Amino acid sequence: MKSRRFFLKALIAVGALPFAPPAWRRLRELRVRSLGGGFHEVEGWILTDADLEMLRNHVS
Amino acid sequence: MILDSLQAGDLAGQSFDVCIAGAGPAGITLARALSAKGKRVILLEAGGFEISPVSQEFFTGENVGLDYYDPFVSRLRYFGGASNHWGGRCRPLDARDFEVRPYLPLSGWPIAKTDLDPYAAAADAVLDIAPVATVPEGLITDDPDLMRIGYRYSPVNFNTRYRDGIVADPNILLVLNANLVDLVLDDTRRHVTGAVVRGYDPAAKSLMISARRFCLCLGGLENARFLLNADSQVKGGIANARDLVGRYFCEHPHFFVADVLFENPGALHVNFGLSPEAVAGSRLPNFSTRLMSPVRSLPREAARSLVCTSDFEVELVRAVLGRRPNCDHGGLGNWWETRDADASTAPLQINSEQVLDPTSRVRPVQGRDPFGYRQLAIDWRLALQDFATMREAVEMVGRHLARARIGRLRLRDWLRDGDPVPPGPGSEMPGGYHHMCTTRMSDDPETGAVDRNCRVHGIGNLYLGGSSIFATPGHANPTYTIVQLALRLADHLAAGPQLAQTEAGDRI
């Protein structure tokens, strides 16, 4: 019973894989709104130029 | 002097200079100040010295606008009024709050901050707070937008602090359980000749109180409800010829607008406001933000609980340390509730100046109070400009926190929506029980119910007190300004022949 449940979960996970964009793709698709003065709004976060650079380096 | 209820014959042979209805911070301050000037005052209070369901029931109402506090619980209908449940936070309005700002509709009071400043020392004494100069405030290095702002905290409950003095005052007759139900106007409809008062005994008759002048200090919502219900002689209610009474209802939105992820909580600044430089260049309404501290130490909160148990301890701490302990929040109970909270994050709360909107209003509805007068509906509305102000404030604070390496901030999801629906009182504090602007002050009768002297337009001897007369709300808690305005009104009412001449002019 346990192995059957595991198999079903794995099947669902593999099947969903093409629809789950990897982290780097999600980050690149995020809308960055410039606030001026070296600040940006990304998904509600108020970030600096350095924050954005750090994120880009992290996912590239 | 005091009467527990009013009976026929109680007032035989007595005359009063001023009849004040409502014994909250405005009414009590006004009564005491008038008495000090030798005026005879009758002070009507609908409740007693303790809260009672019989009196409180008259505050039943409903919300038909934004999700807001039940009007039954956001007000208190007994001696001391709202001071029986306030947090004591005091701050005068800023100079800019009184100024005309072309980008804000109906902005500008007919008086300036300099008209209230002379009453600051007396207001400090009434509220038992140190002078404003003792509050640490100041610009923030390398930040052009924000400044740190401070508050003072009053320990005064007007009920316990002033009831004995008022009862013993030979110039004040305090009448408890006395409900103001109507005002009687003369044939010109420009002069009040009497106040109609009822007790709770259904068998008792209404009584009329005569005085030279009348002042309503019933509260930010109740001043409007009373005037709108007072339609026995004037269609639509007294002072409402232009359908203004009840409109422009404002609160101070108190929402949690963002969450901060701390990089360095040790560098925490708590309260921010607009810097003078930003004020000069911005088109924003006024605002302040408050970063709720995530760091709660057990010893500190235990000490806070100890010193906040009574006025004596608070005074002792102030005498020894030179500053009053902040008893507004925290304490052992709060520490226990938040002991497992993530100390790396904290919410950011806003107190913003609401933009005046005639559709944000309070109005009478079909429901009736026990005397048969229409109950109140609150139709609180916020404009897109109000939400834009909150977003811009958050962005300013976010830039500061990032620049100062304190942390990074994220706007709450509801505020990022193009058509925001703010959270209600079930999960947050939508406002501060600050009911303002429903009978606003303006020298133009087309845009306000009272003039610069708090006198109702078109009625020579009727005055209003309290936050209903605020022309615009600012962002500061209202009680300090309420007290300043009451002290200023007392000076005006004691002005003698000059005042009588002004009032007579309005009767023509």
Query: CB–CB of B409/B415 below 8 Å?
Result: no
CA separation for the pair B494, B508 (Å, rounded) = 22
For B33-120, where are the E strands, in sequence order? Answer: 41-44, 61-63, 89-90
The Cα A53–Cα A51 span in angstroms is: 5
What confidence category does residue B2 fall into, taking pLDDT thresholds of 50, 70 and 90?
confident
ipTM of the modeled complex: 0.75
Determine, yes or no, domain membership for B151. Answer: no
CATH number at residue B202: 3.50.50.60
CB-based contact (8 Å) between B405 and chain A?
no
CA distance between the termini of chain B: 37
**Is residue B389 in some structural domain?**
no
pLDDT, tens only, B360-378: 999 999 899 999 899 999 9
What is the sign of the dihedral through the CA atoms of B169, B167, B204 and B81? positive
DSSP chain A: -HHHHHHHHHHHHHHHGGGS--HHHHHHHS-EEEEETTEEEETTEEEEHHHHHHHHHHH-
Tell whether the model's pLDDT for residue B508 goes beyond 50: no
**Residues B268/B406, Cβ–Cβ less than 8 Å:** yes
Cα torsion through B122, B33, B459, B501, rounded to 10: -90
Q: What angle do CA A28, A34, A40 make, to 5 degrees?
A: 70
CB pairs under 8 A between A and B: 36
Domain presence at residue B69: yes
How confident is the model over B392-408, as pLDDT tens digits? Answer: 999 999 999 998 888 99
Beta bridge partners of A45: A42, B410
Average pLDDT over residues B136-145: 78
Q: What is the pLDDT of residue A10?
A: 67
Q: What is the reported pTM?
A: 0.86
Q: Is B243 part of a structural domain of the chain?
A: yes
Residue B309 lies in a domain: no
* A2-59 confidence digits (pLDDT tens): 566 666 666 665 565 555 555 555 666 778 888 888 999 998 999 999 988 888 777 6
Question: What are B44's strand-pairing partners?
Answer: B21, B175
Give the DSSP H/E element, type plus range, for residue B367. Answer: strand B361-368
The total number of structural domains that make up chain B: 1
Judge whether B209 lies within some domain.
yes
Nearest chain A Cα to B259, which residue? A45
Please tell me which residue of chain B has the smallest CA distance to A33: B395
Q: Output the pLDDT for position B507.
A: 44
CB atoms within 10 A of CB B392: 18
Does a structural domain hold residue B77? yes
Measured between alpha carbons, how far is B474 from B97 in angstroms, rounded to an integer?
6
CB contact A20 to B (< 8 Å): no
The segment with the largest mean pLDDT, out of A42-56, B229-243, B286-300, is B229-243
Tell me whether residue B349 is in a domain: no
Per CB-CB distance under 8 Å, the chain A contacts of B394 are 46
Token pair 């003698």 is found at B496
**What is the domain range of residue B190?**
2-135+158-251+355-381+436-505
Instruction: Please tell me the predicted confidence (pLDDT) of residue B267.
Output: 64
Question: To probe the interface with A, which of B392, B411, B412 has the most A CB atoms within 10 Å?
Answer: B411
To the nearest whole percent, how much of chain B has pLDDT over 90? Answer: 66
Over 50: is that where the pLDDT of B438 sits? yes
Q: Which residue has the higher pLDDT, B206 or B306?
A: B206
For residue B315, pLDDT over 90 is answered with no
Task: Calculate the average pLDDT of chain B.
Answer: 89
DSSP H/E element including B127: helix B120-127
Q: Return the minimum-mean-pLDDT range out of B83-97, B283-297, B426-440.
A: B283-297
Of A46, A48, A51, the CB nearest to B395: A46
Q: What is the mean pLDDT of residues B449-461?
A: 95
Q: Is the model's pLDDT at B487 over the cut of 50?
A: yes
pLDDT of residue B154: 93
At B145, the pLDDT band (50, 70, 90 cuts) reads confident
Please answer whether residues B415 and B390 qualify as being in contact, where contact means their C-beta atoms are separated by less than 8 angstroms.
yes
